[in-house]
Chain A
Amino acid sequence: QVQLQESGPGLVKPSQTLSLTCTVSGGSLSSLPYFWSWIRQHPERGLEWIGYIYNSGSTYYSPSLKSRLTMSLDSSKNQISLELTSMTAADTAVYYCVSQSWSGSGSYSPLDWGPGTLVTVSS
């Protein structure tokens, strides 16, 4: 298992861009066979999967966020990043960095989660 730690601003103004970073420890991003994901939890609307990036740099984004979302990774720093543009109050949530591991069925199951970081969108 790996350890994940999110970092970023706790407060973002409407229309601004959110930038979050996840630092991975306990293994190398470039060699671990995981999908690296972001999941958020809205105060009243539950859990929402945002997207993943693989160590090759390939990505898959949730269709509902695809037009505003960019994920990247920096193997030299063992970090994954998320950028979400045009933030609104509906984006207020706790954002989690999550590893997805092979589950034996051809699919990747969410396994390790960071502690999460609360992002509030407000002027």
Chain B
Amino acid sequence: DIQMTQSPSSLSVSVGDRVTITCRASQGITNDLGWYQQKPGKAPKRLIYAASSLQSGVPSRFSGSGSGTEFTLTISSLQPGDFATYYCLQYNTYPITFGQGTRLEIK
């Protein structure tokens, strides 16, 4: 299985902050990577697919970059509704595998 290493596991941040989350794959996955936001008691919601394509309806403050083994999710200016847990996942090779998640907490 491809291992996805996500960092950091948690981040204490404030509204307006720029946030960067990183995901590293144990082997190359081209750009077959997605970023998901999950709020407590809810299902994950896709933000980014194909490493850098913004899902329809998702605010433009979310962006993704990377290819191969290194990927980044950036939130340019954190809003109150963005406090959640974020996951990366790779869908290049089955089984699909996930990062461990990054929890954004209010500073």
Where the two chains meet, the residues of B that have a C-beta atom closer than 8 Å to any C-beta of A are 30-32, 34, 36, 42-46, 49-50, 53, 87, 89, 91-92, 94-98, 100-101
Is A109 within 8 A of B32, CB to CB? Answer: yes
Nearest residue (CB) in A for B55 is A111
A interface bracket (residues with beta carbon within 8 Å of B) = 20 to 34
18 further contact pairs, Cβ within 8 A, besides A107-B91, A114-B43, A116-B43: A46-B98, A46-B101, A47-B89, A49-B95, A49-B97, A62-B95, A63-B95, A64-B95, A103-B49, A105-B32, A105-B50, A108-B91, A109-B50, A110-B34, A111-B46, A111-B49, A113-B43, A115-B43
Is A110 within 8 A of B96, CB to CB? Answer: yes
Where the two chains meet, the residues of A that have a C-beta atom closer than 8 Å to any C-beta of B are 37, 39, 46-49, 60, 62-64, 96, 100, 103-105, 107-111, 113-116
The 5 lowest CB-CB distance pairs between A and B, nearest first, are A113-B43, A49-B96, A47-B98, A62-B95, A109-B49
